[in-house]
Amino acid sequence: MDLQSILNDIAAEMAAAPDRGKVADYIPELASVDAKRFGIAVALPDGRCMTAGDAEVAFSIQSVSKVFTLALALGRLGDQLWARVGREPSGLPFNSILQLEQENGIPRNPFINAGALAVTDAILAGHQPKELLGELLRFVQTSAEDADIHINEAVAQSETEHGDRNMALAHFMAAHGNLSNRPELTCGTYFHQCAIEMTCRQLAMAGRFLAGGHGAPHMISPQRVRRINALMLTCGHYDASGDFAYRVGLPGKSGVGGGILVIAPGRASIAVWSPGLNRHGNSQLGTLAVERLAQATGWSIFG
Ligand code: DON
């Protein structure tokens, strides 16, 4: 299989795609990103990495960061984490507050915003935000084998200034006793984790610990890897998770920066980036590109 030429073909098709979706603008700092960008990278377990398009341009990983905080949280709290957040798909948009009211402040899963806030809050307890963010960056840098990965302060600031919805989610959880830190502190830390920037190459490399296989970095136990992949499949694309599983057949986690991390267990870690989003807040062309990649390679967890 000639992966490089598959990626070249996909990049060429995406460059010509007429409908690129709409760049997120509720975080003003993200609104100025060029909608024409498209990058894709496939990292094999041993660290060989093939790329096409804008795969060396850094973008805001946003909700893709929730995969890394979940890995840290499971390492630190183990199954105790599940007292604070569920493991079911929500069937609602990523920033919805509806179920929080009906379900006593326990978010449905760690990938919707409320759930990610609960995860960040849980690992923040007893630490300074700077300390925790340092630990998170080291985790990402170690798994990517690349120290040149940073937080974009302007993006974090921009989201802080427009973070009313996340603050509402945090306050709601606090009212139900499901927040250990002040909402400002938990949200501030969460906005910074979302503002991590990576290139497709770096993100694909960083995801190898979830792909496993010979030569992949061992960051967490194989059982936890499987569980994170299960949650990515069922909840990683919010109310479009079923559609992503149907079209791509692999676990994936999206972010409103237009990035998606996709795991082909035992085979590869894939990162794709195209800033235009569909109506569910997931990358429009990114989804199409990984659908094409899965078709061309035959990679699927469903046989
Ligand atoms: O909390 C937010 O709204 C953003 N920092 C992250 C949301 C996100 O990436 C949703 N994913 N598609």
Q: Answer whether residue 187 shows pLDDT above 90.
A: yes
* CATH T-level assignment (fold) for domain 65-194: Beta-lactamase (3.40.710)
Range 230-249 average pLDDT: 98
Question: What digits encode the pLDDT tens for the residues 3-13?
Answer: 999 999 999 99
Range 207-214 average pLDDT: 97
Enter the tokens of residue 93.
């948009």
Label residue 179 by pLDDT band (50, 70, 90).
very high
Which of 200, 224, 209, 157 minimizes the C-alpha distance to 289?
A: 200
Pocket test for ligand 1, best of 256, 272, 273, 282 (most atoms within 8 A of CB): 256
Å from CA of 188 to ligand 1 middle: 14
Q: What is the pLDDT, as a whole number, of residue 10?
A: 98
Range 238-246 average pLDDT: 97
Of the residues 119, 140, 248, 256, only one is catalytic, namely: 256
Which superfamily, per CATH, for 3-62+196-296? Answer: DD-peptidase/beta-lactamase superfamily (3.40.710.10)
Q: What percent of the chain has pLDDT over 90?
A: 100
Label residue 99 by pLDDT band (50, 70, 90).
very high
CA distance 196 to 144: 13
Å from CA of 170 to ligand 1 middle: 14
Range 36-57 average pLDDT: 98
CA distance 302 to 11: 26
CA dihedral over 267, 198, 143, 260, signed as positive or negative? negative
Residue 26 phi/psi, 5-degree rounding, is -75, -15
Range 22-39 average pLDDT: 96
Question: Is 256 one of the catalytic residues?
Answer: yes
Question: Is 26 one of the catalytic residues?
Answer: no
Which residues, in sequence order, are CB contacts of 221 under 8 Å at separation 6+? none
Question: Is 140 one of the catalytic residues?
Answer: no
Q: What is the pLDDT, as a whole number, of residue 55?
A: 98
Q: What is the pLDDT, as a whole number, of residue 220?
A: 96
Q: Quick count: other Cβ atoms within 10 Å of Cβ 297?
A: 16
Question: What digits encode the pLDDT tens for the residues 110-128?
Answer: 999 999 999 999 999 999 9
Q: What is the pLDDT, as a whole number, of residue 1?
A: 87
CA distance 277 to 252: 15
Q: Does ligand 1 have an atom closer than 6 angstroms to the CB of 59? A: no
User: Closest Cα to atom 4, ligand 1: which residue?
Assistant: 62
Question: What digits encode the pLDDT tens for the residues 143-152?
Answer: 999 999 999 9
Range 157-178 average pLDDT: 97
Range 212-217 average pLDDT: 95
Q: Do domains 3-62+196-296 and 65-194 have the same CATH topology?
A: yes
Q: Does ligand 1 have an atom closer than 6 angstroms to the CB of 163? A: no
Q: Answer whether residue 158 shows pLDDT above 90.
A: yes
Domain ranges of the chain: 3-62+196-296, 65-194
Contact (CB, 8 A) for 261 and 207: yes
Which of 224, 300, 240 minimizes the C-alpha distance to 268?
A: 300
Range 221-240 average pLDDT: 97
